[in-house]
Structures are given as C-alpha cells and as structure tokens.
C-alpha cells in the first residue's frame, strides 16, 4: 500500500501521457489531409501550430519540474513512513519527482494540445460547429480569441459577408460566437501583446504579436501562428472576397 501511495502521481502521469499519445495520432492524421478534404480552406499549415515560437514548450519542463519537486518535498510529512529520514525523503522527492513530472507532464500536455488543433483544423463535428454553407465562408484559421485575461480556442472563418469566430465545443470554459461584419468595414493590423503577469512572463519568454480586427467601432484580438505572415494572408483573403461581385 505504501508503494502504491508513493507511485500514485507517476501512475496518473502515465495515464495522462497515454491519452496524449492518442491525440498525437490525430495531429499526424490531420497533417496528411489534402486541401480539398475540408469544407473550408486553411490559411495556416497545421505544422505551424506545433512550432515553439514563444519558447513556452521549452521552458515549461523546467518550471513545472521545479514547482512539482518543491511541492513534493514539502509534502514529506504526508508520505507514509519509509526507511529514510524525513530530510532524505524530501530530497529524494525533489530530485526524483521533479524531473519525472517536468518530463512527462509537458510532453503529455503538448500532445494533447496537438490533438485539439488537429480536430479544429479538420473541422471535426466533436470539435467545432462550422457555419452553414449559406454563410458563404471560404477560409478558416484555428486560433485563440483573446478576451481580457481569457483565451478562447476556436476557429476564425473568413467569407463574403465578413468574419466569424466559433469557439471550440469541447472546452472547460465555453465561449460565444463572434460575428465581424460587414466585410467593407473590417480592417486588420498587428499589435503588441498585452501586458503579462508574473506567471506568464515566467512561462512565455517571447510573447507573439497579436492580430487585431476592427469593424464599426468594435475590435477583437487573436493569437495565431506566424502572426506577420498570417495577417498578410488574412488581408489577401479579404481583398479576394471584396472583389467577388455581390
């Protein structure tokens, strides 16, 4: 029983990694899709979502490993008695638990995120409710809508009537659909990232520029891969939509 209690955090990690490996297969399958296999054309390649532009994935193992190791060391009084002294048990908890958690948790989380982007990229019915065909939308960009301190993952659709952001269906914090119209009133620009708090500065050493969309006195910000290149693609797609006879 003592061994089971001590190994329970590692057993939870193994289970999490196993679930994440299933999500990784979804990412690989979506990356092999042909352009005509989805209802909308993707403006950003799926591989771009797996690039560590901000340095987050590189720094996460160190931060999580350190914090988990310290937490395990402070939980030494709760661990059933072992053949080691309390001080040695705390040292071992820090030296073993921290690196293991710092290795497996970020790896599992990253693969889980890959599965989320893959589901949105493919337009899977369990991931997103796409707009109807009569909405005349032609392009899509999986992205994150920045609303204050909250980030909502979903898909931004571009069409003849304007733009539409649909939030991801299977989310712990559901968002609302955002309509951006009419098309002629829409303007797009790159803007600096919002100020970060202490935790964000610790985990994200290189925050990306954000894409701001303005229309009729309103505005919305989005996080997207390769923001400068993606912003240019959205601008070109809007110009294409405006040239279509109404």
The total number of structural domains that make up the chain: 2
CATH code where residue 170 lies: 2.30.29.30
Place 68 in a pLDDT band, splitting at 50, 70 and 90. Answer: confident
Lowest mean pLDDT among 150-159, 211-220, 237-246: 237-246
pTM of structure: 0.80
- Last residue of one domain, picked from the residues 64, 97, 122: 122
| Domain span at 75 | 2-122
Residues 75 and 149 in one domain: no
* Residues 9 and 51 occupy one common structural domain: yes
- Which among 13, 11, 19 is positioned nearest to 61, based on CA atoms? 13
Is there a domain that residue 127 lies in? no
pLDDT(45) > 50: yes
Rounded CA gap, 163 and 182, in Å? 8
Q: Are 115 and 26 in contact (CB under 8 A)?
A: yes
Of residues 112 and 30, the one with the higher pLDDT is: 112
Which of 212, 208, 128 lies closest to 174 in space, CA to CA?
128
Does 109 share its domain with 6? yes
Find the radius of gyration of the CA atoms of the chain.
22
pLDDT digits (tens, 9 = 90+) for 146-194: 988 889 999 999 999 899 999 998 776 667 899 999 999 999 999 999 9
Q: What is the DSSP letter of 51?
A: S
90 compared with 82, residue with greater pLDDT:
90
pLDDT greater than 50 at residue 36: no
Residue 35 confidence (pLDDT) above 50: no
Phi then psi dihedrals of residue 89, to 5 deg: -65, -40
pLDDT at 26: 54
pLDDT of residue 118: 93
CA distance 149 to 230: 23
């Amino acid at each position: 029983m003592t061994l089971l209690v001590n190994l329970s955090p590692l057993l939870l990690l193994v289970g999490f990694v196993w679930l994440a490996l299933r999500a990784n297969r979804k990412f690989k399958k979506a990356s092999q899709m042909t352009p005509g296999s989805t209802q909308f054309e993707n403006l950003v390649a799926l591989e771009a979502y797996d690039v560590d532009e901000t340095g987050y994935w590189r720094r996460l193992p160190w931060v999580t490993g350190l914090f988990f190791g310290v937490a395990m060391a402070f939980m030494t009084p709760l661990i059933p008695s072992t053949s080691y002294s309390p001080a040695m048990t705390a040292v071992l908890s820090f030296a073993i638990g921290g690196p293991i958690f710092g290795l497996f948790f970020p790896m599992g989380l990253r693969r889980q995120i890959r599965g989320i982007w893959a589901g949105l990229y493919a337009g899977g019915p369990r991931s997103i409710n796409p707009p109807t065909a009569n909405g005349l939308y032609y392009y899509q960009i999986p992205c994150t809508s920045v609303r204050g301190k909250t980030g909502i993952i979903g898909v931004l659709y571009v069409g003849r009537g304007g733009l539409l952001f649909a939030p991801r269906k299977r989310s712990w914090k559901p968002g609302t659909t955002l309509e951006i119209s009419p098309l002629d009133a829409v303007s797009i620009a790159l803007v600096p990232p919002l100020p970060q708090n202490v935790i964000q500065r610790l985990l994200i050493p290189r925050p990306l520029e954000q894409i701001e969309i303005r229309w009729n006195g309103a505005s919305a910000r989005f996080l997207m891969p390769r923001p400068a290149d993606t912003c240019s693609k959205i601008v070109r797609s809007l110009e294409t939509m405006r040239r279509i006879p109404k």
